[in-house]
Amino acid sequence: MVTARRTTRAFTLVELLVVIGIIAALIAILLPVLSGVQARGRDLKCQSNIRSIMQAMLGYAAENKGSMPYGFYYTRSIQDPFPGNWNDAGGDDGRFISWASLVGKYMGKRLDGDNDDSNFPPVLKCPEAEQIYPHVVSYVANMIVCVAPIYELQMGPPPNAQLKPANVTQLIKSETAVIWDTAIKSTWENNVGYLEGADIDGQRFWRGASVPQYRYFSPNDPFGQFPPGTSGNNKPINMTTGSNTWKNTEIPGGSGPFFSYQGNLRFRHNKDTACNVGWSDGHVSAFTAKIKRDKTMDSSGGVPRHDALRRYFMIKWPSGAIPDPSSPS
């Protein structure tokens, strides 16, 4: 009896190379898609974090006669004629309380509001920023909403100085930006980093603000009626501070630049074109920008290509502060 011989056919080298090529092509196609999905997930998590923070802030206000929390203030161990002055010889013990730790108490148990890392719940960390460097706070507060006396007292007495945080009744409904994504730095002395948006609009809202017109706007004040130019509350904020150039990146290590990054916007989502923002009514959306390859802002025609307008960082005029159209904007 003749038995049939079974033969097996192996892949040829060419066939193996074709299969490997197809797999490599599929991986090349799927990896960017997967990366994009992961980035979108981090973006959504960041938005969820900010929404929770805003709920905690509004909860804080509800329990404090409508007042928003302070941005930060030092807890001094000895008497000091100038509270919070970092130039004192031993006037401060280095401890402080901030908006982040105050609202953190609403999102965690046994938190006392001090600046110890354990007092900052994970919700204060943007997952996209965490990809760069471990830290405890990724967001900053609007320093017109959450004031810091250390800055305010440098501007003189009221109405130039706003010594108390804004009341919720002073916020422009759904149009006052309260917190937003900001840059982080790998060599911070502590992991908290920046807490206030001090460099917004070239430090226009606090540094050298000798008249309240530099800082307080409402949708109907005279500054909103300025002709086209760099003035007016419907114009984009200035992203630079003095001669320093703002770049859409995290802050370099070492002694690197300080100004232009101190609480300024960081467009870290949607391929580095979106900065998440928590608004006065609790909703969350994003400022968007067109960033050049060198990470600087596209300012074609002399106008910054982003939609973060001055009016979004304003509160209503405080009592006693009279708009003066003749003052510089």
pLDDT, position 82: 46
Strand 177-181 with 274-279, pairing: antiparallel
What does the domain layout of the chain look like in residue ranges? 38-313
User: What is the pLDDT, as a whole number, of residue 81?
Assistant: 41
| Residue 123: predicted pLDDT | 93
pLDDT tens track of the chain, all 329 residues? 555 556 666 668 777 788 888 888 877 777 676 666 788 899 999 999 999 999 999 999 999 999 999 998 776 544 444 444 444 444 455 667 889 988 887 777 666 656 677 778 899 999 999 988 888 899 999 988 998 877 666 555 555 556 788 899 989 888 999 999 999 988 776 778 889 998 998 887 776 544 555 555 544 554 444 444 445 677 888 888 878 889 999 887 666 668 889 899 999 999 999 999 999 999 999 999 999 999 999 988 888 899 999 889 988 765 555 544 444 44
Per-residue pLDDT, 325: 44
pLDDT of residue 75: 67
**Reduced 3-state DSSP string for 279-324:** ECCCCEEEEEECECCCCCECCHHHCCCECCEHHHHCCCCCCCCCCC
Amino acid 207: pLDDT: 67
| C-alpha pair distances (Å), 51 with each of 123, 248, 316, 322 | 10, 24, 23, 34
Strands in 177-181's sheet, in edge-to-edge order, are 139-141, 177-181, 274-279, 284-288
CA distance 53 to 139: 10
